[in-house]
Amino acid sequence: MIFFYNLIFTILHPLLIIFLKIRVFKNKEDGNRYLEKLGYASIAPIKGVIWFHVASLGEIKSIHSIIKHYQKNQNTKLLITSVTLSSYEYFKIHMKNENTFHQYAPLDSPIIISRFLKIWKPKLSIFVESEIWPNMIIQTSKYCKLILLNCRISKNSFKKWKIIKKSFIKIMIKFEFILAQSYEVFDYLKYFNLHNIKMIGNIKLTNAEKNNLNIIKINNQNFNWVAMSIHNSEINFIIETHIRLARLKKNLTTFLIPRHLNRIRNITGNLKSKNLTYQKISENTHVGNLNGIVIVDQFGMAEDIFNQVELVFMGGSIIDHGGQNPIEPLKYGCKVFTGKNIHNFNEIYNELINKKIAKIINNEDELVNELIKKFDEEKKYTTNKQNLEFKKLSNEVFSKTISFLDKYIY
């Protein structure tokens, strides 16, 4: 299996630069740095780096607090590789310093990986989540010890890896250790008779740094709640929930944050047809005593709202999508509600539900009832309790992760 995988890459190798140039033309790659994906370095390589490899924005956010911890030691040189433009933008704003460097990740071609490793010669390599690339793993294991941090294997991925079980085992035994992000993933790995595995918790819980942007100003005494990452087929569910709540609470503001912004016109048309008052954030970032729906039609505004509104319903969970990650609202002490379809984040939600930080709702009636109940509670008490529980959980996972990594980094 791996032989044929490498044969395809070898045949296609001369075409990879053309492929990257096309992506640059489409603004999908960095025009000044796309050669990094062919294994070349844009900066002078540093000896003895600790190499963290992530895929995209979500994964680089998950190692934020870990990187900040190791940046305190000026003798520790960190290299972070990632795939996407958005992940680099995050690095540039939140992680870049004189001892931490970024490169775009090399493509998994035998020739390219070999070139990258000869240039950088990492002291230790730490791959994050589901970055299971055969050449990158097998060749890196010849240079240094290799750890898979926060390993994630979905149910569908597990089914695929079972088909090529021997190849999967051949790849995974190259890791010194695999840290599973959940007991579900731990059990998947056990199926392959792997013994280099451990479960210490999901590191996404450790990214507890807040980003108080203060772009949106919410200045009202209304009953406020947020519908976050709402998919197109869930819009009516949120609108109907708002209508029912408005009958019970006269001063009500619903913050609707769509998952996809290409349907804003459909949303506003729907609201107009129901004679509902609404405001678009792109037109006005000040929210006064609006008795209606605030449509958050710009990216990057959610945390600003979580900092001011305590009740959040996470979308992608009424439909069979698998849910959305609740970590961002939890950082701000929000109470999280979700539908029952949360298989993408089962382990996170199980932990949160056990600690009464999050709650599953099954239908519109339950969401209305839960929101009314929370509107009438003492907000300061519940918010402080939420913060304490989440910080405790976050600190526990962080401490275990750092204790484990310290054995290899120092």
Q: What is the pLDDT of residue 383?
A: 58
Q: What is the pLDDT of residue 6?
A: 79
Q: What is the pLDDT of residues 62-99, one digit of tens each?
A: 999 999 999 999 999 999 999 999 999 999 989 999 99
Alpha carbons 307 and 311: distance in angstroms, whole number: 11
Residue 246 has pLDDT above 60, yes or no: yes
Contacts of 208 (CB under 8 A, 6+ apart): 65, 331, 390, 391, 394
Band the pLDDT of 267: cuts 50, 70, 90.
very high
End-to-end CA gap in the chain:
37
Alpha carbons 255 and 26: distance in angstroms, whole number: 33
Contacts of 106 (CB under 8 A, 6+ apart): 36, 37, 38, 39, 81, 112, 113, 115, 116, 136
- Which carries the bigger pLDDT value, residue 132 or residue 388? 132
Band the pLDDT of 397: cuts 50, 70, 90.
very high
Q: How many CB atoms lie within 10 A of CB 247?
A: 9
Q: What is the pLDDT of residues 92-129, one digit of tens each?
A: 989 999 999 999 999 999 999 999 999 999 999 999 99
Q: How many CB atoms lie within 10 A of CB 341?
A: 15
Q: What is the pLDDT of residue 208?
A: 63
CA-closest candidate to residue 390, choices 151, 161, 127, 208 = 208
Rounded to 5, what percent of the chain is helix, strand, coil? Answer: 50, 15, 35
Q: What is the pLDDT of residues 291-313, one digit of tens each?
A: 999 999 998 899 999 999 999 99
Residue 220 in contact with residue 253, Cβ under 8 Å?
yes
Among residues of the chain, what percentage have pLDDT more than 70? 96
Contacts of 410 (CB under 8 A, 6+ apart): none
Given its phi and psi angles, is residue 121 left (phi above 0), alpha (psi -120 to 50 degrees) or beta?
A: left
Tokens representing residue 160 in the block:
């695929």
CA-closest candidate to residue 259, choices 331, 342, 315 = 315
Tokens representing residue 23 in the block:
């992506």
Q: What is the pLDDT of residue 5?
A: 83
Strands lying side by side in the sheet with 358-360: 278-280, 292-295, 252-258, 223-230, 311-314, 335-338, 358-360
Which of the residue ranges 57-61, 147-151, 299-303 has the most confident prediction, judged by mean pLDDT? Answer: 147-151
Spell 40-54 as b/e; 16+ CB within 10 A means b.
ebeeeeeeebbbbbb
Query: What architecture is the 217-390 domain classified under in CATH?
Result: 3-Layer(aba) Sandwich (3.40)
| Domains 32-199 and 217-390 equal at CATH topology level | yes
Q: What is the pLDDT of residue 155?
A: 84
Q: Hey, what CATH class is 32-199 in?
A: alpha beta
DSSP letter at 118 equals H
Q: What is the pLDDT of residue 319?
A: 95
- Which carries the bigger pLDDT value, residue 215 or residue 230? 230
Q: Find how far residue 298's CA is from the centre of its chain.
A: 19
Q: What is the pLDDT of residue 109?
A: 94
Q: What is the pLDDT of residues 175-221, one digit of tens each?
A: 999 999 988 899 999 999 999 999 998 998 887 666 667 789 999 88
Q: What is the pLDDT of residue 379?
A: 56
List C-alpha distances in Å: 39 to 11, 101, 135.
17, 15, 13
3-class SS of residue 328: helix
Alpha carbons 159 and 177: distance in angstroms, whole number: 22
Average pLDDT, whole number, for the chain?
Answer: 92
Q: What is the pLDDT of residue 52?
A: 98
Q: What is the pLDDT of residue 369?
A: 96
Tell me the residue type at 349: Y
Alpha carbons 213 and 304: distance in angstroms, whole number: 6
Q: What is the pLDDT of residue 138?
A: 96
Q: What is the pLDDT of residue 207?
A: 73
Annotated domain spans of the chain: 32-199, 217-390
- Beta-ladder partners of 199: 180
